[in-house]
Structures are given as C-alpha cells and as structure tokens.
Structure 1
Amino acid sequence: MLQDTFGRRFYYLRLSITDVCNFRCQYCLPDGYEGQAQTFLSVNEIDTLVKGFAGMGTCKIRVTGGEPTLRKDVSDIVAACAATPGIQKVAMTTHGGKLASHAKSLADAGLSQVNISLDSLDPAQFALISGQDKLNAVLDGVNEALIQGMSVKVNTVLLRPFAESQLSTFLDWLKDMPVTVRFIELMETGQHKAFFKSHHTSAEPFLARLKAAGWEVLKRGADAGPAVELQHPDYAGRIGFIMPYSSDFCSSCNRLRVTALGKLHLCLFSDNGLPLRDYLLRGDVSGLQGFITEKLADKKVSHYLQDGVTGITKNLSMLGG
C-alpha cells in the first residue's frame, strides 16, 4: 500500500494523457493552448504505469488532460486501465464537447464514471467562461453518458460575480437530473494570479445555506475525491463542494498525479515532477514501484495554497486538475 509519512494512503491515480485542450476557459487557458508538439505516454507505457500503481494498492484511475478525448486512442487507454488486475474503477474528466460521440466506445472500454466541466447552464455565460459556444454539445454529452450507464458528475468552478446564479440554476436542474454537481473554489495558478484575486469566492456560505435547507452530508468513500457531497430527498441529483482553502483539505489526500510526459507529481501544486518514463519505456514495473515508494517520503503535509504557493503549476491543463 502506498502511504506517506503522515499516514495518508493513496488509492487513486490521476493520469493525464495530453495537456492539449481546445477550450479557452478564463481560469485555465484564456488564450488557448500554446504548448509545443510532444510525445505523450503510449498505451504500452500507460499499461506499465497502471500495473505498477495497481500492485501498490491503487484501485481507481482517472484519465485527464488537457482534454483526453482529443487523443484518438483514448478508448484503448481506458481499456488498458480497466483490464489491469486491482483496478476497480476507471473515470475520466472532460470538457464534454466531444463526449456524445465517444460515450459508447468509452463505456464499452470500461469507463464507469465521467466528470464534465460545465460552468454555466446559460448559453451566453457558458460561452463567456469557456471561450466556446458549445453548451448544447456538452449537455448532449451529459445525456449520452447517462444513457450508457455511467455515473456523471458535473464540475462547476465558482466565480465571482456568477456564483449566485450558478447555484440557483444548477439547483433547479438537479430537481430532475440524476447527476452530482460539484462546485469548486477557484484555485490560484502561476499564470492567473490577477484573475484569482478578482474572481475567487469561498464555497463555505453556499455549503452552510444548503445544510440549513435540509441537504444531508454523505459519507466519503476511500477512493473518493475531496468533495463534500450532499443529498436531498426532493432532488434527483446531488450537490458537492470542493474547498481547497479549507483548513483540513489536505488531511484526506488520497491521490497522486502523473503527467502526459510521464512525470509523477506528489501534489497538484508541487515544485517539480519526478521522471518515471525510463521505467515505463523498459516495462520495469518493480523498478517503478521502488522509485515511487522512495519518493513518496517527500510528500508535504499541505499544498500551501493558503500562503499563495502555486508551485510549478502555471495552469490546470498542465496536470489535469
């Protein structure tokens, strides 16, 4: 079992397969993708990586980007993860713009959960935040994922001055929509410090308001993310809040991250990535496991976001969030 010096166990790997994204979200890539052509991890390398993590107790893989559906072999990657002994759940985070056409092949490959970035249900507001007039395409992706039997979560970044309208419209939507909407506090990154200062708002008042309105907090699973999730008997869907600036946020950390170039990040806001690719190219599972176990001793107790530390993370597309 992967465990750090603070007793935290790591059941969950976030695996980026590309840093390319074709959306222009204000809080991530407002000027569009500006990276250079690179050789991302192959299916064979990913197979070695996942075997290594699964052999050390990891049971959940989340495929991320950038935008993972921009890779033509995305279904092959999901299938390789799902076929690995010990892996019980394969999930994906996507902007959802191409999900309607990919949902069936992804479900057939073994994808059981999808998280879709959807910051507004208002077409004009959605286009303003995401840089793309594709709200209907994303909503089609939500519906198709549900048809394919996937568990669907919607990720919404709380942004001042939109937060009140975001909460109101999504609450109405959840009356009949069997998905979980997770409101995520905007996180500071290296390229967007000014945007953070002008748009960050705390989720705490919204969480308190829902508790007062009869929403009940659910118990968190061992492989679950950091969200506080709530349910209400009058709603088909659920609400979640991800609050990285809360005092105890890092105490429940249960995930590690690997970039599309094969670097291990012990935290989303770490100072550097640790190279794994030599092990992956050789198919060296035991060497990979030894290296990860050794380096895990360096994982810090906190991300230190509350102190304005953003590490190497220029934007969230670099590491898949």
Structure 2
Amino acid sequence: MSMSPPSPSSQTGFPMVDPFGRSIDYVRVSVTDRCDLRCTYCMAERQIFLPRAELLSIEELDRLCSVFIGLGTRRLRLTGGEPLIRKGFMDLVAALARHLRSGALDELTLTTNGTHLAEHAEALARHGVRRINVSLDTLDPDTYRRVTRGGDLSRALTGIEAARAAGMAVKINVVALKADNAADLPALVAWAHGEGHEMTLIETMPMGETGIDRTDQFLSLTEMRRDLEARWTLTPLAKRTGGPSRYVRVEETGGTLGFITPMTHTFCETCNRVRVTCTGRLYLCLGQNDHEDLRPVLRAGDDAAVARAIRAAVSRKPKSHDFRIGAGLAPAVARPMSMTGG
C-alpha cells in the first residue's frame, strides 16, 4: 500500500508543551475498538462495538500519525482493542516505518494480547518494531479463560515466544485482580524474568461498564508490593520511560518489575502522552472526558489544520486524572478502555 507523507505545512518545527510545562512527545493511537477477547476489567461480555464506517481508514491513520510526528512525537504506540485483528494493520506499520528510517521517530511499538502475534512477529520486527507490550494476567489456563471470557492461553504464549524469536523485547503487562490472579503474581514474575521479559503490574481502572464490580476486583499495588518484598529483595531503579511506571529490580530473579498505580498514587506530574481513538478523537488524559474530534478536520484534507487542532487541544491538557474506586461509584469515564486504547 502506498501512502504519502503529510504536507510540509503540517510540520511546525517546535515541540508540543502543555499548560504545565510537560513536553508531549508520546502518542498512543488505537486502530480498532474490537478485540478477540472480553477481559472482565476491560469490556462487557456482550460489548457493542463501533460501526466500521466510523473508524479512520488505514490511510487516515497514517496521515494523522505523520502529523503528530511532525509536531515532535518521538514515540508512537499502536493499540486497540486488539490492533493485530484490524484489517490492513501491517500496511499501517509498514508505512509508518519510513519515519523510523528517516530518524523522525525514535520508536514504533504496539500493545497486544498476543493471540495473533505468532502470525505477525517476523513482519513487525522487519518493519522496525523493536519491543512490544503483551497483556497477560495469569499462567493458569482456567484463570486465563475466565478472565478473558473464553481465551486460549496457549495462543498468547506461542505469540510471545514468536516475538522473542523475531528479536523483539517483550514486556508483560499484568492487571492485578484481587479475586482472580493475586495469588498467581509471584509465579508470573518469576516466569517472565526467567524468560528474559520485563513485567509491569497495573491497578485496575474504573473505565466503562464491564458487568463486573471493580471494587471486588481492585488490588492495591502498595499492598501487593509489600507481599512481594516479603519474598524477594526489590531494589528501586532510577529508570524512567516518561510513563507512569516506577521500576524495581528483583534481585533474586535479576529482572525488572514496574508498578503502575493510577488509584493509589497519582503519577501525572511527568505525563508526556496523549491518546487518539480509532475514530480520531484526541483524548488529553485517559481519566478525563475532554477531547478534540480530529476526524472532520482530517477528512477536510488540510494537514496544517489538523496540526493546529492538535496544538489547541494540547494547550488545555489537564493536570491529572480523577480516578476513584469504591462501592456504588460510577466509572470515572463512560468509554471502555478498549475504545481509548491502552
């Protein structure tokens, strides 16, 4: 598929900075709200997906990502839903790889559940994807099937192995769930580090209705960290990726473990990112509703106008999210995680 770069007029030559002095150089772009799994913390069992006509085309996604790169984006993550099930996804990756070759983009990566990774790992690596995040919450097949509402653990594990064989670094993302995987987490850490993968633990976030009470699911990572420290020596690391993770080295395994704690610790002071949905809505914060609809501007065909709209939106990026969790509390935002992108 042949795709054209954005017009020079969209290249403004200076980076985006929000009202709090944070440089915005990392964009997460959802290519679809659809997924082949139905994880209990992410979406409803009978999730209603967007009409396909509302989604940006692959060519439009390429143009939009290219405008962001022209505005100083150095890291681009493609997400979903599950990005690998989007028709034409590898065409998009192939097109965006030109920005890696030119040096305009430092990193092109994706977040995936791994179930289709075995089919695409070699091509992803060939196009310059050097690392990926894989969502995997347990190594127990029955627990995996229950949490994902029917998923096959072996497909995810085969995909992870294919990614490693293709030369990509793999980070395992784990949502900590009190009733489902809390007891499994030490074994998951040991497995990930034994396989040479980094791992990050994430607190569940109140986004969208999933049919499950998140108060019952919520597991404080402050509490979980204390449990891990009773087992292992956790040495804090100065490592920062510009994201919300705070990292430790597990001395007994030699591996790196991250903690993302949106509920128990607000990490927003270093936020460097924005998110774009598969319909072209630019969200300035995962936990806020304010957004800019870029689709009409994009479809009007003027990349310079798209760049101006993006800058205007970033100029009102909020200071922090407003996640709260508790019995009887509605989700902080109505849209599910799968719509915004992970």
Query: How many angstroms does 1:163 deviate by?
Result: 4.3
Matched residue, 1:317: 338
Residue identity opposite 1:316 in structure 2:
M
Query: Helix, strand or coil: the match of 1:83?
Result: helix
Q: How does 1:66-85 map to 2 (within 5 A)?
A: 66-84=81-99, 85=102
Contact 1:43–1:80 (Cα < 8 Å) also in 2: no
Q: How does 1:105-144 map to 2 (within 5 A)?
A: 105-144=123-162
Q: Among residues 18, 31, 48, which one is paired with 2:63 in the alignment?
A: 48
Distance 1:272 1:5 in 2: 15
Query: Helix, strand or coil: the match of 1:268?
Result: coil
User: Relative to structure 1, is the Cα distance of residues 304 and 52 closer, same or farther in structure 2, using a 3 angstrom cutoff?
Assistant: same
Task: Give structure 2 stretches of 5+ with no counterpart.
Answer: 1-14
Distance 1:284 1:237 in 2: 47
Contact 1:174–1:238 (Cα < 8 Å) also in 2: no
2:305 aligned with 1:287: yes
Distance 1:318 1:77 in 2: 19
Contact 1:127–1:135 (Cα < 8 Å) also in 2: yes
Matched residue, 1:214: 233
Residue identity opposite 1:195 in structure 2:
D
2:17 aligned with 1:17: no
Identity of aligned residues (%): 33
User: Relative to structure 1, is the Cα distance of residues 74 and 179 closer, same or farther in structure 2, using a 3 angstrom cutoff?
Assistant: same
Distance 2:75 2:289 in 1: 25
2:256 aligned with 1:238: yes
Query: Helix, strand or coil: the match of 2:87?
Result: coil
Query: Helix, strand or coil: the match of 2:33?
Result: coil
Matched residue, 2:49: 35
* CA RMSD of superposed structures (Å): 2.1
Query: How many angstroms does 1:174 deviate by?
Result: 3.3
Q: Among residues 17, 28, 39, which one is paired with 1:3 in the alignment?
A: 17
Contact 1:268–1:313 (Cα < 8 Å) also in 2: no
User: Relative to structure 1, is the Cα distance of residues 68 and 184 closer, same or farther in structure 2, using a 3 angstrom cutoff?
Assistant: same
Distance 2:260 2:316 in 1: 25
User: What is the number of equivalent residue pairs in this alignment?
Assistant: 320
Matched residue, 2:6: none
Moved more, 203-212 or 106-115: 203-212
Query: How many angstroms does 1:133 deviate by?
Result: 3.7
TM-score by length of 1: 0.92
Moved more, 176-185 or 81-90: 81-90
2:76 aligned with 1:61: yes
Matched residue, 1:172: 190
Task: Give structure 1 stretches of 5+ with no counterpart.
Answer: none
